[in-house]
Amino acid sequence: MLVAGGKSFARGTVVIRHIVFFSARDPEDIETVRAGLSLLTEIPHALHLEIGSNLKTDQLGSDVDLIVYGEFEDAAALAAYKAHPLYQRSIDIVRPLREIRMAADYEVSDAANAPVKARPGA
């Protein structure tokens, strides 16, 4: 059983986690970037979506200021989220103020949640 966005899903169900890291060019703009990203929380296609601030506790890097974390029922829901007008509005606010934007998406059912042995030749 998978749990995403507070809902339970049967094994084999596609649930996609969407994680995006941002940094502001100027520290003075972090709150404006956060406000622009927060528009994304109004888009109805996510099972769960939140905007967090990096605690900057990692000893090797603290370049990231803000994180967008979302869970989507499937690729169609993620695509609908990205096609929503508020998504573009968020881009219009954030893009001129950001330095770093790094995104990754993965299917929860394919994620390692226990030690994995490397395959020979891999």
State pLDDT tens for residues 101-122.
999 999 998 899 899 998 887 6
1 assigned to some structural domain: no
Query: What is the pLDDT at residue 12?
Result: 56
Residue 18 has pLDDT above 70, yes or no: yes
Give the total number of structural domains in the chain. Answer: 1
Instruction: Tell me the helix, strand and coil percentages in the chain, rounded to 5.
Output: 35, 30, 35
83 assigned to some structural domain: yes
Expressed as residue numbers, the domain containing 46 is 11-97
75 assigned to some structural domain: yes
114 assigned to some structural domain: no
Count other C-beta atoms under 10 Å from residue 40's C-beta. 23
107 assigned to some structural domain: no
115 assigned to some structural domain: no
73 assigned to some structural domain: yes
State pLDDT tens for residues 37-96.
999 999 999 999 999 999 999 999 899 999 999 999 999 999 999 999 999 999 999 999
Residue-wise burial string across 51-80, b where 16 or more C-beta atoms lie within 10 A, e elsewhere: beebeeeeeeeeebbbebebbbbeeebbeb
53 assigned to some structural domain: yes
Asked if residues 47 and 3 have their Cβ atoms less than 8 Å apart, the reply is: no
CATH number, position 57? 3.30.70.100
